[in-house]
């Protein structure tokens, strides 16, 4: 995934760090080193899938509309090179964070918002697939074999682009200055010494929020609502979006909020390194593995151009831009992540996961029970 320097972060953070992020299919993720080569082979093309990367010779002068969550970012030169190569004009529209994005895709499926979507993650993807939002497409672009390692079983509708771990982050200096021990996992957070310190996002409107909810179901089983009742008693703060929790609430120097514990990503801390010193870190025992996908919209006006965008997102140029611009790990095994990530942005060795069938079957019930427990 990716990292900005502290001197430039403030100016572009709102467009680069807000991740939303992924799917309820059967997602398999590589173990160990996140930059290790993926070994999964690409799936056989279906009748509706391309047998090769999309032919762009007939796209000259056309426009393609890319629907994204509001944290999508790509360097101007990488975008310009794609437009020059294909002759396409790329337009972007961002309805909100990943949860809001999927809601809008479902509501507008009979009149699609664009041609191709980026940013549906593995916590919401099954809903979009079940609703028939996406058309099948299988890319054979450079990173397609690596992307297949995260494929959703039984569907060719979505292509993995990047991944990360949703985790709680903490303000290093706050805990040192206040003599409070850093929590070691989710179970610690109902302790009264952490009362009023934690800001999270609503799982009904935010994919990181849903990822945290699923992590607690995975850890506490049938007792997960009791756990959230304990967090409510401990004055947990709930915001509508990741950007509210991270940019507004986080107490680290870059933002100066009131909460030293916030929901974010394992790949967020490098953006908070100031003068070579980290100001935040992730609690890796709290993480849920998140994958972000792209897909061509069913009924799109320009599906061929949408396919070309997916091929582009799997190109070496786009994949190499992902860490520094969206703070997530690229799926491609042929591009490098910043060296600082090994120190400041390691992924969890054993992230929380959930069977995709369970997410699909129980997502709405989980959210309803969470709402009744935490907000009502």
pLDDT at 101: 85
Judge whether residue 3 has pLDDT over 70. no
| 121 secondary structure, DSSP code | E
pTM over 0.75: yes
- Whether 17 contacts 71, CB under 8 Å: yes
| 226 secondary structure, DSSP code | H
Q: Please give the average per-residue pLDDT across 232-255, as a whole number.
A: 96
pLDDT at 354: 86
Q: Which of 98, 35, 133, 12 is nearest to 292 (CA)?
A: 98
Judge whether residue 75 has pLDDT over 50. yes
pLDDT at 53: 62
pLDDT at 55: 67
Q: State how far the Cα of 37 lies from the Cα of 288, in Å rounded to an integer.
A: 21
| 308 secondary structure, DSSP code | H
* pLDDT single digits (tens) 305-346: 999 999 999 999 999 999 989 889 999 999 998 888 889 999
Collapsing DSSP states into helix, strand and coil, what is residue 40? coil
pLDDT at 27: 37
- Whether 138 contacts 42, CB under 8 Å: yes
In CATH, what class is 166-288+353-374?
alpha beta
* pLDDT single digits (tens) 251-285: 999 999 999 999 999 999 999 999 999 999 999 99
Q: Which of 369, 15, 14 is nearest to 204 (CA)?
A: 369
> Could you tell me how many residues make up the chain?
376
* pLDDT single digits (tens) 103-123: 889 999 999 999 999 999 888
Please list the residue range(s) of the chain that carry CATH number 3.40.190.10.
6-27+40-164+290-344, 166-288+353-374
Q: State how far the Cα of 160 lies from the Cα of 144, in Å rounded to an integer.
A: 9
Residue with the two structure tokens 């950007």: 243
Angle between helix axes 224-233 and 356-374 (nearest 10 degrees) is 30
Q: Which of 153, 133, 267 is nearest to 208 (CA)?
A: 267
CA 370 to chain CA centroid, nearest Å? 21
Q: State how far the Cα of 362 lies from the Cα of 366, in Å rounded to an integer.
A: 6
Exposed, middle or buried: residue 43 (CB in 10 Å: 0-12, 13-18, 19+)? middle
User: 171 forms bridges with which residues in the sheet?
Assistant: 280
Collapsing DSSP states into helix, strand and coil, what is residue 280? strand
pLDDT confidence band for 154 (50 / 70 / 90): confident
* pLDDT single digits (tens) 30-61: 333 333 333 233 333 333 333 336 667 689 99
In CATH, what class is 6-27+40-164+290-344?
alpha beta
- Whether 22 contacts 125, CB under 8 Å: yes
pLDDT at 335: 93
Q: Which of 118, 78, 134 is nearest to 316 (CA)?
A: 78
Residue with the two structure tokens 């682009």: 161
- Whether 33 contacts 342, CB under 8 Å: no
């Amino acid at each position: 995934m990716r990292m900005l320097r502290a001197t430039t972060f403030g100016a572009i953070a709102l467009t680069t760090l807000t991740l939303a992020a992924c799917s309820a299919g059967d997602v398999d993720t590589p173990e160990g080193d996140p930059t290790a080569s993926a070994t999964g082979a690409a799936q056989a093309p279906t009748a509706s899938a391309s047998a090769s990367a999309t032919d762009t010779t007939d796209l000259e002068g056309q426009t393609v509309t890319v629907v994204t969550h509001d944290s999508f970012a790509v360097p101007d030169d990488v975008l310009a090179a794609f437009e020059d190569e294909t002759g396409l004009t790329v337009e972007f529209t961002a309805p909100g964070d990943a949860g809001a994005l999927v809601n809008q895709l479902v509501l507008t499926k009979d009149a699609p918002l664009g041609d191709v979507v980026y940013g549906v993650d593995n916590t919401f993807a099954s809903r979009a697939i079940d609703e028939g939002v996406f058309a099948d497409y299988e890319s054979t672009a450079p990173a397609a074999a690596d992307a297949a390692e995260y494929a959703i079983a039984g569907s060719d509708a979505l292509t993995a682009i990047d991944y990360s771990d949703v985790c709680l982050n903490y303000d290093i200096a706050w805990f040192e200055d206040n003599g409070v021990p850093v929590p070691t996992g989710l179970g610690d957070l109902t302790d009264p010494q952490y009362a009023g310190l934690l800001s999270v996002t609503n799982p009904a409107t935010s994919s990181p929020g849903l990822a945290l909810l699923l992590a607690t179901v995975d850890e506490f089983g049938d007792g997960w609502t009791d756990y959230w009742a304990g967090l409510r008693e401990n004055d947990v703060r709930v915001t509508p979006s990741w950007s509210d929790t991270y940019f507004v609430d986080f107490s680290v120097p870059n933002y100066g909020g009131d909460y030293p514990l916030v929901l974010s990503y394992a790949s967020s801390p490098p953006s908070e390194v100031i003068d070579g010193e980290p100001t935040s870190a992730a609690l890796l025992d709290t993480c849920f593995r998140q994958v972000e996908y792209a897909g061509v919209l069913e009924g799109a006006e320009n599906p061929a151009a949408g396919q070309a965008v997916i091929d582009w997102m799997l190109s070496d140029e786009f994949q190499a831009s992902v860490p520094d611009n969206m703070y997530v790990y690229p799926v491609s095994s042929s591009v490098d992540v910043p060296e600082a990530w090994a120190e400041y942005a390691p992924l969890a060795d054993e992230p929380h996961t959930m069977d995709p069938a369970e997410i699909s079957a129980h997502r709405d019930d989980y959210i309803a029970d969470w709402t009744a427990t935490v907000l009502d």
